[in-house]
Homo-oligomer: A and B are copies of this chain.
């Protein structure tokens, strides 16, 4: 199982070092072997439907993809417990989304949104992750399923 400090480092890397995550304001609030949580505050520049002021579908898809990818990264680390940090970094730098489905179940109304991700299956090549995005009132806004290349 990955060490807490390694997971902490991974969460910081995702929040701070990935330019687009920073640009739209994705923050990792939790990252452990069970679950990953990514939050984003609603801001004027993230609006999609200007009549209703709701969150853009692309922002929702981004949050969902990022949460799923982080969870796949944890899965990859769990399967490679003995790897040298550099080797692990190498593997992580090659991790990528194969495909993503997002279901927009309700309009993206709210002030703060949280995406949680849960691994369905990690293999030595592919990880499958399910994601849910809620607003601050715990209304389900979107769900997603992503397949990630992990080896």
Tell me, yes or no, whether A86 is within 8 Å of chain B by CB: no
Which residue, A19, A58, A99, A143, has most C-beta atoms of chain B within 10 A? A58
- Chain B's nearest CB lies how many Å from the CB of A13? 9
**A93 proximity list for chain B (CB < 8 A):** 49, 51-52
Contact A140:B120 (CB < 8 A) given known A52-B93, A99-B102, A100-B102: yes
Tell me, yes or no, whether A149 is within 8 Å of chain B by CB: yes
**A120 proximity list for chain B (CB < 8 A):** 103, 105, 140, 143
Q: How many copies does the complex hold?
A: 4
Tell me, yes or no, whether A126 is within 8 Å of chain B by CB: yes
Q: Do A45 and B62 have beta carbons less than 8 Å apart?
A: no
Nearest 6 Cβ contacts at the A-B interface: A58-B62, A20-B56, A61-B61, A105-B121, A51-B93, A23-B45
Known interface pairs A49-B96, A103-B145; 19 further A-B residue pairs with C-beta atoms within 8 A, sorted by A's residue number: A20-B47, A20-B48, A23-B46, A52-B93, A57-B97, A58-B58, A58-B61, A58-B66, A59-B62, A62-B62, A98-B126, A98-B128, A99-B102, A99-B103, A100-B101, A103-B147, A125-B125, A126-B126, A143-B145
A residues near B (Cβ < 8 Å) are: 17-24, 44-52, 56-59, 61-63, 65-66, 69, 93, 96-107, 120-121, 125-126, 128, 130, 140, 143, 145, 147, 149, 151
